[in-house]
Each structure stands twice: as C-alpha cells, then as structure tokens.
Amino acid sequence: MEQQPLRYFDRDLLPHLVYSARLLATFCKADRAGLALTQNATTALNGVIQGHVRICRERGVTPTIVVWDISYGSVKKMANHQFGANVVEIPFQANFLHKLRESPTEEVFLKALEQTIDSADKSWENSLLIIDQTTSNTALNLPVRALAQRAKQAGMLVLVDGAHGLLAQDIALDSDDYENVDMYVSNGHKWLYCPRGVAMLCCAKEELRETTLRQPAVVSHGIDDGYLSRFLWDGTRNYAAQLSLPLVLDHWNRRNPALVRTTMRTRLMDAIQILADLWHDGCVLSQSGTAGTWLFDLASGLLDGRSCRFIHLFDTSSVVSFTDSSTSVVSSTVSSTSMLAASSMALSTSSVNPSSSFDSFAF
Ligand SMILES: Cc1ncc(COP(=O)(O)O)c(C=O)c1O
C-alpha cells in the first residue's frame, strides 16, 4: 500500500472489500446485492434514519420514527436529532418490563407496541419502527418476527438494529423470521469478533435501496453508483478491519456457528446459576437472553436501598455491567472465574455520570 497508494486504493482494495461483503452475505443468508459494508452500526443507522426523513420530506409527508425507551441511547439521539418533534418512544421499561416475569416475552412486547399504535388516531404509513434485536443496557432479545409482522400490518417501515446479532444469533435474513424486516443492521466487531470497524446494512428490497437508502450518511465517490458502491468508500482511511472478514468467517464456519452458540449459552447459564444461587431464585428476569447476554433483576430488599437493578451479563469471560434504574451503566471487567466477585461489586458500585461532556475536559 505505501509503495503505490493510488494503485492500492483504486485497484486492489475495492474488489477485496466486495469479496468481504459477498462472504458476509453468504454467512447471514442475505441478498448479495443488498448487503453494504459500513464502519459501524452507528454509520448504518444514521444512513437509514436520515434517509427516511429525507424521502418523506421529498414526498411531502411527515415522517415518524418509533423507538423504545430501552433502545440504544445514541439511536434515540439520532432520531431526535433528525426529527425530534415526531419521535414516538414506546415506554417499555417504564410500563412493561416488570411483566416479563409473569408473561411470555413476545406477548409483553406485542402489547407494548399495540398500545403505542392504538394510542394515536393517525396513520402509521410514514413511520419507521426501530427494533433493537438485543438491547444494549437491558440485555433483552426483542421478538423481531412478531413485532415486524405487527408493524407491517400498521404500515410501518421496519429497521432492526441487530448490533449484537452476528454470530450471537442464528441470522438467516432470507428466512420467514425476517420477511417483514425491511432493513437490518449488524456489527462485525461484537460477537463475530472482527477487529473494530466492520458492520453491515442489509436491505433486500431494491425499491428501498433506491429511495430511503439512496444516500449514505457519508457521501463520497460511489454516490452515483449502485447500493454497495455508495456505502463502500467513505474516504481514505484504514479499511483493514473489513478485509479481515474472509479470515474471521472462515474461522467460524470451520467451528460451526450453531455449536459455538450452544457452548456460549451453556457457559452463560452456568454463570447465571452461580449468581442466582448467590442472590436469590427469582433474579433471572427474562428468558430471552442471547447466547451471550442475560437480564437479572435484583430484588429491592437485596439492594438495601442502592441503585443497581439490572445486571447485564456477558459470557466469554469479560464484562459484567450494572444498569441502574435510570439506565446509566457502570461496567466492570471480571474474569469468568471471578463471577462470584461480581455479586459484591454489584452492591457496591455507584453510578457514572452519563452526561459528562468531553468539551469540558481540561487537557
Ligand atoms: C443495540 C446497539 N445499537 C447500536 C450500537 C452502536 O454500535 P457502534 O458503536 O459499533 O456503532 C450498539 C453498540 O453497542 C448497540 O448495542
């Protein structure tokens, strides 16, 4: 690359990136023409949200964006930044989360969506519903298939934020589970273990690719070309992470992703059992964790007035994060053998200030 940068960027790099994209499409059974690589989920999600607002305005209609109060923080900010006046937030944590203890996950989430749909006497035709496949702060798996089906009946466009999806879940985008999902975003640098800087934006519908997704968040050379080209190049930078995909996918394919998930889940369940025994029987709140994350609810008595309520437990040895009721998160690194230590940490951890800004740092 350093010997002849122009030749590298113009001739060598781009075909290799396309190769990465094609292999990733095969891995998650996506439409080959409908998978674009991006640097991260944030870039892809921005592209969709901006595109939705832009196309609605071009058509002279008012866009609506529907998120959940448990959606990823920056996604809620993206929506509010683009079109704050018409962002609808489903109050799941506020009104429905506690119901997961007694009712099936799918039923509770559908009720929450239903209530929002029924709450307004309006058409949802120009709405974009964003469904987090796995929530970051509360480690819940949303029932994508059922929610997408209901949203489609209401006329909504459906975007799934599957940032935690790749490898942690069996993603077959050509299956019935995703038939009502219009756009699917996932990160390669989470459970797939790529180096940071790999994500995908999938859309099997050409009509959407030429309207909502006509313009990526970063516009560059590829803007007048096809879907993949528009997103492929976002300026001169290090694309090495995306070039790792063939190796990473080959690694997982040879190990059998289904088996990997089973192993992850088994180890996670062992850790959950340790914590449940230590804390109390009923602390495992939801039955819908992924292979790698699960949600705990600590009884208020156990907490003795402290703020920590949800434990977001990651397998693969590394992180337990503690989410208090106002969803600020404190993460602590523990080894898999020191899960027990997590219990005492949970009770002594205080909240970080989520609103601290880098602008005020005095370097
Ligand atoms: C649910 C969800 N959406 C979006 C993102 C953003 O991902 P990234 O920072 O890689 O853009 C994350 C990151 O943790 C996430 O958990």
Pocket test for ligand 1, best of 43, 68, 70, 72 (most atoms within 8 A of CB): 72
* Residue 347 confidence (pLDDT): 34
* Residue 259 confidence (pLDDT): 94
* Residue 159 confidence (pLDDT): 98
Any idea how long the chain is? 363
Q: Which atom of ligand 1 is nearest to the CA of 187?
A: 10
* Residue 97 confidence (pLDDT): 87
Q: Which of 268, 272, 277, 279 is nearest to 343 (CA)?
A: 279
The residue type found at 180 is N
* 161 touches ligand 1 (CB under 6 Å): yes
* 163 touches ligand 1 (CB under 6 Å): yes
Residues 76 and 98: beta-carbon distance below 8 Å: no
Low-confidence ranges of the chain (pLDDT < 50): 300-301, 303-309, 315-355
Phi, psi (degrees; rounded to nearest 5) at 128: -110, 115
Residues 40 and 231: beta-carbon distance below 8 Å: no
Q: Which of 267, 261, 243 is nearest to 317 (CA)?
A: 267
State pLDDT tens for residues 303-354. Answer: 444 434 455 555 443 344 444 443 333 333 333 333 333 333 333 333 344 4
* Residue 101 confidence (pLDDT): 76
* 187 touches ligand 1 (CB under 6 Å): yes
* 39 touches ligand 1 (CB under 6 Å): no
* Residue 329 confidence (pLDDT): 34
* 132 touches ligand 1 (CB under 6 Å): yes
* Residue 100 confidence (pLDDT): 83
